[in-house]
Amino acid sequence: AFIPQLLPNIDKVIYFDCDVIVNLDISELWNIDLENKSLGGVLDQIADEISLPLVRKMQLKLCGLEKNKYINAGVLLINSEKIRKNGNFFEQVKNWLLHYHDFAPSFDQDAINSILADDIKFIDSKFNFYDLTQNLSNSIIHMWNGKPWKKFTGAEHEKLYWHMYLKSAWSENCAIDDIIDKISRIGVHLSEHEYKNLFHKHGIQCLKRLLCVIPNRLKPTLELLKIKYYLIKYKFSR
């Protein structure tokens, strides 16, 4: 919600959740014409479900949401310029959550869909593809229901994840033996605490490396993002 305000000189932004793999030319997403809409997003899986639990139907109704117009916020193409013109979006989301938090289990996703209703362009499902049993080529894969860092079964999205991991800043200075140890250990059950310690110990190193390649004119903004990241991390680790 605070991206448009933190990046005042950038008119368009691509946002990803941390559990996606980009397996296509990212320019395909970037070049989508938003037709003056505030966001571009893919319809969420609930739009495909014939029967939703009664509780979820009630939650959507209380929040003024329609399942056939409800996007998944894991991959977004953001028209930052338009969102800024419409006021402080962060404050809008915060106020919405204060009012509807009891009915909004998806928090920011519910808020975005409600506040920007009828101002969202629906884009091809390949840009937020969640059916891990299908062909994963030429798509952005959202691993919401199959985390490769929690288990390893040999599924295609797991192989692709580890292939990408080895190319990323997360694996820098990570020896082959460490990788083998990681993959072998996720073959057994790990507690929430154990797998967090196992896979996120390189987080600070990764963040530092990414900050090094950002243009100097954006560094003060990204330092603020870094501060917010650690504040959020502290809040949920207590």
How far is CA 108 from each of CA 128, 171, 179, 190, rounded to the nearest angstrom? Answer: 17, 30, 34, 29
What's the pLDDT at 200?
54
* pLDDT at 221 > cutoff 90: no
Residues in Cβ contact with 108 at an 8 Å cutoff, skipping those fewer than 6 apart: 1, 73, 93, 97
Give the mean model confidence (pLDDT) for residues 157-164.
Answer: 87
Which residues, other chains included, contact 202 with Cβ-Cβ below 8 Å and sequence gap of 6+? 169, 170, 171, 172, 174
CA distance 120 to 137: 26
**Which single residue is written with the structure tokens 């933190």?**
6
- The H or E element containing residue 12 is strand 12-16
Q: How far apart are CA 147 and CA 144, in angstroms?
A: 7
Q: How far is CA 185 from CA 37, 173, 181, 182, 230, in A?
A: 45, 19, 6, 5, 28
Tens of pLDDT, residues 78-103: 998 898 888 888 888 888 888 877 77
Nearest-angstrom CA–CA distance, 204 and 175: 17
Radius of gyration of the chain (CA): 19
How far, in Å, CA of 221 to CA of 204, rounded? Answer: 18
Q: Which of 160, 149, 145, 142 is nearest to 187 (CA)?
A: 149
Give 237's pLDDT tier (boundaries 50, 70, 90).
very low
| Token digits of residue 132 | 């891990």
Q: How far apart are CA 158 and CA 143, in angstroms?
A: 9
Q: What is the pLDDT of residues 174-220, one digit of tens each?
A: 777 877 777 777 766 556 566 555 555 555 555 555 556 555 555 55
* Res 61 pLDDT > 60: yes
- pTM higher than 0.75, yes or no? no
Can you tell me which residue has the tokens 């915060």? 94
Torsion of CA 111, 55, 235, 6, to 10 degrees: -10
224/231 Cα distance (integer angstroms): 11
Q: Which two tokens stand for residue 118?
A: 């009828």
Could you tell me if 178 and 163 are in contact, meaning their C-beta atoms sit under 8 angstroms apart? no
Considering the chain, what is the average pLDDT of its residues? 78
Please name the residue that has the structure tokens 């919600």: 1
